[in-house]
Amino acid sequence: MPWMDEWTASQIGFSKIQNALQPHSLYGQRHKQARMPFCAGEEAAWQADHEDVMRLFRGVDESRGQVFSLKWPTALRGLPDVRSIPAILVHGAALQVELVAALKQFVVQVLALDEGLAKDEIVFPWWEVMGIADIARHLSSNAALPTRDFSLKDLEDSGYDQALSAFLQARANRMAAEREYLKRLVKDYDVPLRRDQTILMAQEDAEKIERAKRDDRLRIRLQTPFDVVFDPQWTDEVRAFIRLEEVHAEKLQQEEVRLLRELSARLRPYAEPLEKAMDCVGQLDELVARVELATAKGYVFSRLDATVHIHAGRQPDSPDWVPVSIEFHEKVAILTGPNMGGKSAAQKTWLLLQACHQMGYPIPAKAYIAPLFEAIRYVGGDAQSMTSGLSSFGAEMVMVTEALGITNGFLCFDEIGRHTNPAEGEALMVALLEELLEKNSGQFVLATHFSLPVKKGVQYLRVAGLREGALAYAEDALPRESAIARLNAAMDYRIIEMENGEVPRQGLRIAKWLGVPKSLLEKAEQVLHEKESKVGE
């Protein structure tokens, strides 16, 4: 059973937090994707992860983020992809020079990270990069910290150095011979030499072109109505220099193959330490991303406790959001309030904060304290399935059944039974309340418009609702958008605690404000009055 299903994730907006969390390297991205939540029973692991992130977070607080923002992301950005190297080494194959260059860049940056952690006296129990220093010594003869650039000359192999020196000399001799030969051609014909070592003559220089056609040192490459392009034909002396350079180039390539094979053999024992270093870098990068998100957005890191405490929780990137504060002191809470009062939004926010808590992510709140649960679920909304043929009520019942199978979960049931007959819907809510009270562990919230019986062990919450007198001018005719804006401004979205689950009656006031015909509202009030009279009898 997943700790959070796709429906819950989509309803609470969990992707907003995940998308905002951006590690700087592909190793950090891989670690982010592989990250799993901490669930009930994994409190020790959660605490260890929390201590790791707080080691960095405290450093940010002390430096006000300035040093952190410049140092760690810079060291993590641009880490090359060396993930294929361990497998190549294990299989006994030789690394290509491009991969060795990438490995050296990776090693240098990891050593810089290691040095930075030591300098800041930040110690992680899982940070193990000892083998990286040994790899560095194999990639450079320089005992000091090597540069990021790599050349096979850095290995100071005599056979390779001799082959390289001979090749470079042969190339220099060939280029000198070519330059001298071309210099004579240019002088003989008094024309400039083009970058591709061809000679261009205009068609109007007919005499010069005819002479060039008879010259064994030149051959026509291209002829147009305006120009003639000639290729120089090398002499035997120049061709000898070219052949000699090719011979030395082949010897140099053989030396490169030998040197890379020998280097790969020396690096083979470090395949596992390299894998470990990549994992450590990914873990550090993901930690850095969490701390960056917290400092950039003003989020906090949560704490463990036996009950859920929320102080000023909010939805991410919602500046107009009214913060939600609550302390759950009973395992079952009933939440009532008017339509458009924010009951669904409050539940989704609570679950989002809990999801972040169990992932170890920074939390959009001023404080969040909670236990770890086996799973979290949002049961509500319109989840009817066009493919399975379930109605809204049917889909809702499937979700209720699945949620009740969770032993220790944070479960929010949002107006269960509203998609069916009201009497049956109310009966289902009462039965659900009884069922949840029998559970040994978990945190449960039931949002409803039904009047449920007062029970021991139940916490009664209510959205404060419309401020008194806020809609006194409801007779005024307002455009719908203005009416909705005024209504939102008139609503008090705070969650307050009540002694019982009395359901507020503000629906008709809201309907009136939104322009529902007066005649319809009067009939509704009459029906309501008659119903209450019958109940009184």
- Could you tell me the CATH number of the domain that includes residue 406? 3.40.50.300
pLDDT of residue 30: 96
The rounded mean pLDDT for the chain is 85
Q: Are 271 and 257 in contact (CB under 8 A)?
A: no
Q: Does pLDDT of 431 surpass 80?
A: yes
pLDDT of residue 65: 46
In angstroms, the CA 438 to CA 431 distance is 11
- Residue 437 CB neighbours (<10 A): 15
Q: What tokens does 61 get?
A: 């607080």
65 and 119 within one domain: yes
pLDDT of residue 397: 85
463 and 344 within one domain: yes
- Could you tell me the CATH number of the domain that includes residue 93? 1.10.1420.10
What is each CA distance from 373 to 1, 97, 303, 357, 360, in whole angstroms? 13, 50, 14, 10, 13
Q: Residues 188-247: pLDDT tens digits?
A: 999 989 999 999 999 999 999 999 999 999 999 999 999 999 999 999 999 999 999 999
pLDDT-based confidence at 60, cuts 50/70/90?
A: low
pLDDT of residue 467: 64
- The arrangement of strands across the sheet holding 199-202 comes to 199-202, 227-232, 218-223
How many domains does the chain contain in total?
A: 2
448 and 353 within one domain: yes
Q: Residues 265-320: pLDDT tens digits?
A: 999 999 999 999 999 999 999 999 999 999 899 999 999 999 999 999 999 987 77
287 and 376 within one domain: no
pLDDT of residue 376: 97
449 and 312 within one domain: yes
In angstroms, the CA 518 to CA 516 distance is 6
C-alpha 454: how far from its chain's center?
45
Q: Does pLDDT of 102 surpass 80?
A: yes
Compute the average pLDDT of residues 19-35.
95
In angstroms, the CA 88 to CA 260 distance is 12
Residue 419 lies inside a defined structural domain of this protein: yes
Q: Which of 268, 297, 326 is the last residue of a domain?
A: 297
Residue 241 lies inside a defined structural domain of this protein: no
- The arrangement of strands across the sheet holding 443-447 comes to 375-379, 409-414, 443-447, 332-336, 458-466, 491-498
CA angle 385, 388, 392 (to 5 degrees): 35
pTM for this prediction: 0.81
373 and 406 within one domain: yes
415 and 291 within one domain: no
Residue 3 lies inside a defined structural domain of this protein: no
In angstroms, the CA 400 to CA 381 distance is 12
In angstroms, the CA 390 to CA 388 distance is 6
Q: Which residue has 């140099």 as its token pair?
A: 252
Q: What tokens does 303 get?
A: 């704490």
Residue 480 lies inside a defined structural domain of this protein: yes
420 and 286 within one domain: no
370 and 283 within one domain: no
**167 against 149, higher pLDDT:** 167
Q: Residues 158-179: pLDDT tens digits?
A: 999 999 999 999 999 999 999 9
Angle between helices 206-214 and 158-189 (to 10 degrees): 130
Angle between helices 43-63 and 271-297 (to 10 degrees): 60
290 and 372 within one domain: no
Compute the average pLDDT of residues 30-35.
96
pLDDT of residue 236: 93
pLDDT of residue 74: 77
**490 against 447, higher pLDDT:** 447
Which residues 6+ apart lie within 8 Å of 301 measured at CB?
50, 53, 54, 57, 294, 360, 362, 363
Greatest Cα pair distance in the chain: 126
269 and 366 within one domain: no
Q: Does pLDDT of 25 surpass 60?
A: yes
pLDDT of residue 503: 55
Compute the average pLDDT of residues 504-511.
58
In angstroms, the CA 369 to CA 466 distance is 30
365 and 447 within one domain: yes
Q: Which of 252, 280, 297 is the last residue of a domain?
A: 297
Residue 221 lies inside a defined structural domain of this protein: no
State the virtual CA torsion across 425, 427, 432, 435 in degrees, nearest 10. Answer: -160
Which residues, in sequence order, are bridge partners of residue 459? 333
Residue 387 lies inside a defined structural domain of this protein: yes
Residue 147 lies inside a defined structural domain of this protein: yes
Quick one: which H or E segment has residue 497?
strand 491-498
pLDDT of residue 387: 39
The beta strand positions in 208-350, using DSSP E, are 218-223, 227-232, 303-304, 309-313, 324-327, 332-336
Q: Residues 481-502: pLDDT tens digits?
A: 665 566 566 667 788 888 765 6
**Which of 383-397, 424-438, 486-500 is predicted least confidently?**
383-397
pLDDT of residue 484: 59
Residue 309 lies inside a defined structural domain of this protein: yes
**Which domain does 498 fall in, by range?**
303-504
Q: Are 244 and 170 in contact (CB under 8 A)?
A: yes
